[in-house]
Structure 1
């Protein structure tokens, strides 16, 4: 194949591009991966073009002819023109049929009508079911279904390990692509993800998207349940409503409304009211290595230093006024006490109080005399 500079509309008419998007040609895949490597500035346009191809193929999978595509694109252009009429400086001029496909595709890509397509062609695409999402995946997937009463381990191609709980299923590619690592979950699983900042790890599960670079965490997302929970063991995890995540990606927004979780924090996503709620887990666990002695001895130690040690031990953020506590010294030896037991003992000793807010512990004190 000969390399050339592709315009936005060129992608949709290039047979090899459509083959690459559909995953039907190794030659096309090799060509386009090389083309993207040489043209990284076109990555966003390529993603939009692929989204359009997949959406139209899925919508017309039983009769995916160019005539059907052309008719649908012309209809979308009419709707878009109605919404943007106030901003247009010139009227829409009817084009000859042979030019409508190219012109519509170019405008679709440049003004972001792919978002409109996701909202109207497939009304549930942004919050699609596990089955629908796996059909639309741009890479061939294999599936692991755990019908036993025990957990089942799934080793992914990047070395990440997924512990699949009973009555759960996971779909994943045999080999991840070069830009991201995406899997699909229906059920409950513990993920121990190999760190790779260049390739984010994405889990699509029951109207949510969990994004990590490398960490360990639990996701519970059964399609029959009205809530999704994500619990972090180590590292940092970002969780988004799938609709917000897809809209941001399609529109090119760098900032997505979501929730960041750190160790011993959990998120609950209520599907009925689309609320993301962060909290501290019921029983926070130590996050320092098992080989480290968990016994902690403090002798005439400034309480701020004690709090700093506890933060390091549990990965939990403690909020307090260090100046108010500067005169507070404590003498304690902790061994088997839980996080909140330790905080409670310290607060009683220095006359302080605490509350758990938004996955953090807020300590209030008037200080020590």
Structure 2
């Protein structure tokens, strides 16, 4: 049996089972590697580095990142290294390949060359300031050392913080946080995806540093997705109010003493996407807005000859999303409808079809257009 505990990142690169798990996982390979990680949690960082190398190589060759292609690259490098080595040495007795000094030297040289290629590809594709990375931020915290929770399993795990806030950490994610928060702020660092349910404390803001972004809250629930290999960071709000900034702008404001930082303010059922390549914050409504009050009385979603303005007002209360429309133009529009399990967008589809209107999502709001009813 292969002793994977002795493997470094470059060794995993040439393991067929590991590459298959990283790029196109099957139930069998997923089960093996996830169980291995649970048994060897101290190797999680090495495995993560190896996965990044595999993905970079796979992206470079795109559809041609096959075992044959990788073997071909390795064979060519080994062959060239061996030729150079053989030309400098005299003929030696025949010994097994794995025991030949030149073979070990050739493989080592090949790995170095190939890893150099992969590293350049990976850096070019994910280039970002080193000072903004999860590794840099967590290793350069000026105060007490951080604790880290790494989720190497297949299910989400809950992390209870010292202030009572709960973080639901999704698979392939890492969270660093102090054992006890400081007297002025509550700061954590995320790589991956997590849902935060933050205890409200206006005197002590809660800050999440994640892949070139800073999310600031006082007390609310929201999701942050910030995987290192992805080009976007996403923040989706469930309850409360959240402010999101680019880390560069936030740090600049902190250093200069500015009280106001340009960012994006999110309310329930809104989301922000930060494009790392364009350095741009984009605000929108979440794909499937959820009701803010699950057990709202059913009569609020049953309408009989109801003015459409009252229907829209009810939807605003239920979902916390602002609906913009011309109330005067739609004054004569009446609605007869009953809703049960439909989400916000489905309900708007029905209402707009009924009154001959249309809608679009603009800057975290929904704008409804209609010529009116007669």
TM-score (norm 1): 0.64
Deviations 1:253-309 (A, max 9, x none): 222111111212211111111011112222111111x33345611122221111011
Q: Kindly name which structure, 1 or 2, has the bigger radius of gyration based on alpha carbons.
A: 2
CA distance in 2, matches of 1:316, 1:322: 17
CA distance in 2, matches of 1:293, 1:167: 40
Q: 2:229 aligns with which of 184, 208, 224?
A: 224
Aligned positions of 1:326-341 closer than 5 A: 326-341=331-346
Aligned positions of 1:43-82 closer than 5 A: none
CA distance in 1, matches of 2:172, 2:159: 15
- Is 1:319 matched up with 2:346? no
Correspondence for 1:114: none
- Is 1:291 matched up with 2:291? no
Q: Compared with structure 1, are the counterparts of its residues 294 and 164 closer, same or farther at alpha carbon in structure 2 (3 Å cutoff)?
A: farther
CA distance in 2, matches of 1:304, 1:191: 34
CA distance in 1, matches of 2:338, 2:295: 19
- Is 1:134 matched up with 2:144? no
Q: Compared with structure 1, are the counterparts of its residues 294 and 254 closer, same or farther at alpha carbon in structure 2 (3 Å cutoff)?
A: farther
SS of residue paired to 1:284? coil
TM-score (norm 2): 0.63
Correspondence for 1:258: 263
Correspondence for 1:108: none
CA distance in 2, matches of 1:333, 1:320: 21
Q: 1:186 aligns with which of 161, 172, 191?
A: 191
SS of residue paired to 2:132? coil
- Deviates further, 252-261 or 161-170: 252-261
Deviations 1:141-176 (A, max 9, x none): 111111111111000111110000111110111111
CA distance in 1, matches of 2:184, 2:177: 15
CA distance in 1, matches of 2:334, 2:234: 39
CA distance in 2, matches of 1:154, 1:269: 25
CA distance in 1, matches of 2:373, 2:259: 46
CA distance in 2, matches of 1:264, 1:222: 22
Aligned positions of 1:228-307 closer than 5 A: 228-288=233-293, 290-293=294-297, 296-307=301-312
Deviations 1:79-101 (A, max 9, x none): xxxxxxxxxxxxxxxxxxxxxxx
Correspondence for 1:310: 315
Correspondence for 2:20: none
CA distance in 1, matches of 2:325, 2:368: 5
Deviations 1:37-68 (A, max 9, x none): xxxxxxxxxxxxxxxxxxxxxxxxxxxxxxxx
CA distance in 2, matches of 1:305, 1:140: 54
The unaligned stretches of length 5 or more in structure 1 are 1-122
CA distance in 2, matches of 1:283, 1:128: 31
SS of residue paired to 1:144? strand
Aligned residues: 245
The unaligned stretches of length 5 or more in structure 2 are 1-127
CA-based RMSD: 1.6
